[in-house]
Amino acid sequence: MSTYTLFIIGILVVCFLLVLVVMVQNPKGGGLSSTFGGSANTIGGVKKTGDFLEKSTWTLASILVVLILLTNATIHTSGDDAKILQNRDTTPSTEQAAPDLPDAGNASDSL
C-alpha cells in the first residue's frame, strides 16, 4: 500500500470523525453540554463538554488540512501516479491537423 493510499484512508477517517463531532454539537449552544446540566458541568472530571467538542472540532479540522497537504505532496511520488506522469511528460507531443469540416453551403443542402 502506498503512502498516498494511507493518507486517503486517513482523510476519510478524519472526515467521518469530524462529521460525528459536528453532529453532536447544537448550533444554538445546547447540544451535549446542556444535557449534563448547563454551564457548570463536571461529570467524570470533564469540565465543560462544549469546550471539549469545540477543541476536538478544531483539532480534527487541523489534522484534515495537514493530511490533505501531505497527500498533495506525495501524489507525485507514489508508484502508479509517478509512472503515468513520467509517461505523459516524456511522450513527444504531435500536432494534429484540424479535421475537415463540411462547408456551410453543403450543410444547408443536406437539410
Specify the pLDDT at position 41: 46
Distances in Å between the alpha carbon of 23 and those of 13, 42, 71, 88, 90? 15, 22, 26, 44, 49
Specify the pLDDT at position 56: 92
**Higher local confidence (pLDDT), 26 or 62:** 62
Specify the pLDDT at position 75: 81
- Stated pTM of the model: 0.53
At 52-105, the pLDDT tens digits run 888 999 999 999 999 999 999 888 655 555 566 666 666 566 666 666 766 666
Residue spans of alpha helices (H) in 25-90: 31-35, 49-74, 79-90
CA angle 44, 47, 50 (to 5 degrees): 115
Residues 89, 73 contacting (CB under 8 angstroms): no
